[in-house]
Chains A and B, each alone.
Chain A
Amino acid sequence: MAIADTAGHAPHTGKPTGLGRWLFATNHKDIGSLYLWFSFIMFLTGGVMALAIRLELFSPGLQFWQPELFNQLVTLHGLIMIFGAIMPAFNGLANWMLPLMIGAPDMAFARMNNWSFWLLPPAALLLLLSFFVPGGAAASGWTMYAPLSTQMGMGMDMTIFAIHILGVSSIMGAINIIVTVLNLRAPGLTLMKMPMFAWASLITAYLIIAVMPVLAGAVTMVLTDRHFGTHFFNAAGGGDPVMYQHVFWFFGHPEVYIMALPAFGIISQVIPTFSRKRLFGYTSMVYATASIAILSFMVWAHHMFTTGMPATAQLFFMYATMLIAVPTGVKVFNWVATMWQGSLTFETPMLFAIGFICLFTIGGLSGVILSVAAVDTQLQDTYYVVAHFHYVLVAGALFSLFSAVYYWFPKMTGRMYSERLGKLHFWWSMVWFNVTFFPMHFLGLAGMPRRIPDYALQFTDFNSLATIGAFCFGLGQLIVLYNLLISLRRGPPAVEHPWEGAQTLEWRIPTPAPYHSFVEAPEVDADDNGVIHAVRGGTHH
């Protein structure tokens, strides 16, 4: 343009200080850390709600909460965990690691990146404040089905606006990820060579952009039904409450993969590192991830087998759902094949990754069982469904996040976490997770409905067991908090290359990662799954 300014063009070297560093951040590492800490706080917040739910369910009858508050807790637990904990955590990891893994100087839109993050606390605040307005928080379940959601108090309106804000945040975050991956890769790192984590983040971001606007549309229709006289979900004006479910699940099913695909990406980095082998079947992993994403758009009505639809439609959605098990199976077998004859060691990230594979497979298989329309008619809205999705979201998404945080902790902070505490955290979580959620399969098969604060006497034993498990599991998460905090301050300095099996680009830069890494794009000689043979150029400060 008119005035050439090469001085302004070269990146600044200083590291901002004070509160402004976080409030005005444009550095992907700072924003990534904000995302991760925020999501951990939301994880604890949603976790406390989960414990409140389990407390009430420890024994039959109403002990602690009225049914209204119980339903509010169930709703907010779901919303907070999905939109406040899991999605931001994956976004935070993508923020931190993507530029390092693909040799980019930062995210493509660094300022917008800041806005993506800083929209989250206001949205979370709106959700949490809604507990204190007349009528309390939304009590419709996280799915906000009409006509429940078209009837509640103003807490529902706050939830709707919070979802709009969360949507804006995640769409901007997703655009940032896509553009970074497509446009900012280091020369030599072609698409079919880049790390699986980059692929998973890219495809997840695509899903987010495709479905978050649909959720925005659905809740907007709820809003106008509530306040502006429309009849989208009301038969009196020619609408249909079932339509809400169709629109919602068109968002909701891809959303499931938004929370699962990045986990697959993380596991595909961790397993090869600790198996000291290359990822088995890299190309098939890429295609499997893409097929899961495409298929996720045509299975939504399997959430609605009991709400009434033609048998032909039921069959279509049933088979389409089962089809997803194929690419997912490809992934599980590829991970197992990667470990096959590897020189395995079992550091904490690897433990969580193996735990992920075992438990996610259980959750995946119970998903296949639920996909059978005839079976689902029995199991719809029972604790079997609760068991199923907690196997994929807690043992799936959450375990992969722990794996990732332990795996990249030395690179992020320059310090080592305590391996002893890490292993304790893993085994503790592994045991108590199963104590909490495995009995729910039996409860569901025996017919215990979900989202109800009371239950029949014969369900008492398993419920008490699940509550004990949940409190122990929750307590165990303080181990990781303690471990991270203590290691941040007093952990032994991390060596330059803490995992000798790790071969991706982020392990080729100094530890801890310099504040401005790859100010100049490096040229890399790369191989499948981002394995780097040689790096030329690429400066940091």
Chain B
Amino acid sequence: MQTTVESRHYFVPEPSHWPIIGSLALFCMGLGAAFAINEMPVGSFVLAAGVALLVWMLFGWFGDVIREGLRGLYHAQEDMSFRWGMGWFIFSEVMFFGALFGALFYVRVISLPELGNMQHKLLYPEFVPSWPLVSGPGIQATYEAMQAWGLPAINTLILLTSGATVTWAHWGMLRGHRRVLSNGLLLTVILGVVFLTLQMWEYSHALHELNLTLASGAYGMTFYMLTGFHGLHVLLGTLILAVVWLRVRRGHFDERHHFAFEAAAWYWHFVDVVWLMLFVFVYWL
């Protein structure tokens, strides 16, 4: 444990140039994206420059944080701050997915039945609400829904297994078994990559064989938006775990100081839980 004197000095970092670079990056990304999606010139270049700046900033900033951690500047109180911070960050992510799930439930429970009722017969005489939706009400093209008990079920198993492997790695960390830690993490990263690959395969199947696109009405939009944002989070989680694995290989962390690992694991479990919700409400029911 920390001595009292030590824990009374809370670490306050030196002035840093990384945040302002991050701000410039997001400005370029916002402006560039707005120009790019409206087919204005230079939009995509500005967007790409913004992304590059952001990546540079993330390397620099996290590099500073890792170096400070290695110099022993973080103690019990700082560690507690990081834990609170990560927890609230994940809560914000939960609320973001909450908005998209809210949209899913709204179209399924309220707007589709309403569009099929008597009052809307004049507007959409042919429309029969069903879930998953296969066409209409105003869309002519037909498309098919993704089946739950094929690839998605395998993906569920993969993510659940990866939750177990990351816990195995944690167990290794806590007992000082570096080999278990390293292998568990590597296995988790591999499972993440496999999940993403299968997900891309599934998308290609949906696009080419099921004729399912973002523009395929209520089913297509909720399917792609929810699984797409989830996929981005898996990608991010995999990258985070990969960085943690690289750090483990370099000998970072010990039994007591491994917040980065725990944060990555929390994030991974969060992504896992979102997937379970997705599997139940997007694919299965």
Give residues in A with beta carbon < 8 Å to B: 1-6, 8-12, 16, 20-21, 23-26, 104-106, 108-112, 114-115, 118-119, 121-123, 125-126, 129, 153-154, 157-158, 160-162, 164-165, 168, 171, 174-175, 178-179, 182-184, 209-214, 216-218, 221, 224, 227-232, 234-240, 242-243, 246-247, 250, 516, 519-521
Contact = CB atoms under 8 A, between A and B. Distances in A.
Given A10-B9, A121-B23, A179-B84, A210 B15 contact: no
Given A122-B24, A178-B84, A243 B30 contact: no
Given A157-B37, A224-B221, A521-B10, 11 more contacts: A5-B73, A125-B27, A158-B30, A175-B84, A175-B85, A230-B221, A237-B138, A237-B217, A238-B136, A239-B107, A243-B111
Interface stretch (B64-72, B167-175, B194-202, B233-241): B64-72
Nearest to B216: A237
Nearest to A208: B92
B30 A165 contact: yes
Given A11-B9, A231-B221, A247 B99 contact: yes
B70 A2 contact: yes
Interface string B122-139: 010000010001001111
Interface in B47-95: 61, 69-74, 77, 80-81, 84-85, 88-89, 91-93, 95
B251 to A, nearest CB: 9
Contact of B38 (A26, A123, A157, A212): A157
Interface of B: 6, 8-20, 22-24, 26-27, 29-31, 33-35, 37-38, 40, 61, 69-74, 77, 80-81, 84-85, 88-89, 91-93, 95-96, 98-100, 102-103, 106-107, 110-112, 114-115, 123, 129, 133, 136-139, 213-221, 225, 254, 257
A23 B22 CA distance: 12
Select the residue from A8, A161, A521 with max chain B CB neighbours within 10 A: A161
A445 to B, nearest CB: 33
Nearest to B219: A238
B19 A115 contact: yes
30 contacts: A1-B69, A2-B72, A3-B70, A3-B71, A5-B72, A23-B17, A24-B17, A24-B19, A26-B13, A26-B16, A108-B81, A110-B13, A114-B20, A115-B23, A154-B37, A154-B38, A158-B31, A160-B34, A161-B30, A183-B77, A183-B81, A209-B88, A214-B95, A214-B96, A217-B96, A221-B225, A229-B215, A236-B139, A239-B221, A243-B106
Given A2-B72, A4-B72, A157-B34, A235 B15 contact: no
A235 B138 contact: yes
Nearest to A115: B19
A12 B217 CA distance: 58
A24 B111 contact: no
Contacts of A168: 26
B81 to A, nearest CB: 4
> Chain A CB within 10 Å — which of B23, B26, B100 has the most?
B23
A235 B119 CA distance: 13
Contacts of A125: 27
Contacts of B73: 5, 8-9
B80 A183 contact: yes
A333 to B, nearest CB: 33
Nearest to B110: A240
A23 B257 CA distance: 32
Contacts of A183: 77, 80-81, 84
B231 to A, nearest CB: 15
A157 B40 CA distance: 13
A5 B37 contact: no
Given A26-B12, A210-B95, A230 B225 contact: yes
Most chain A Cβ neighbours within 10 Å, of B95, B102, B218: B95
B16 A24 contact: yes
A540 to B, nearest CB: 13
Nearest to A230: B221
B30 A224 contact: no
B178 to A, nearest CB: 15
Contacts of B112: 238
B42 to A, nearest CB: 13
A157 B85 CA distance: 30
Contacts of A126: 27, 30-31, 34
B15 A20 contact: yes
A182 B19 contact: no
A1 B30 contact: no
B147 to A, nearest CB: 20
A501 B202 CA distance: 68
Contacts of A247: 99, 102-103
Given A230-B215, A239-B221, A179 B15 contact: no
Contacts of B74: 1
A5 B73 CA distance: 7
A520 B96 contact: no
B15 A26 contact: yes
Contacts of B225: 221, 224, 230
B16 A218 contact: no
B27 A228 contact: no
A314 to B, nearest CB: 15
Contacts of A123: 30
A151 to B, nearest CB: 14
Q: Which of B10, B84, B123 has most A Cβ within 10 Å?
A: B10
Of B123, B217, B219, most A-chain CB atoms within 10 Å:
B217
Contacts of A5: 71-73
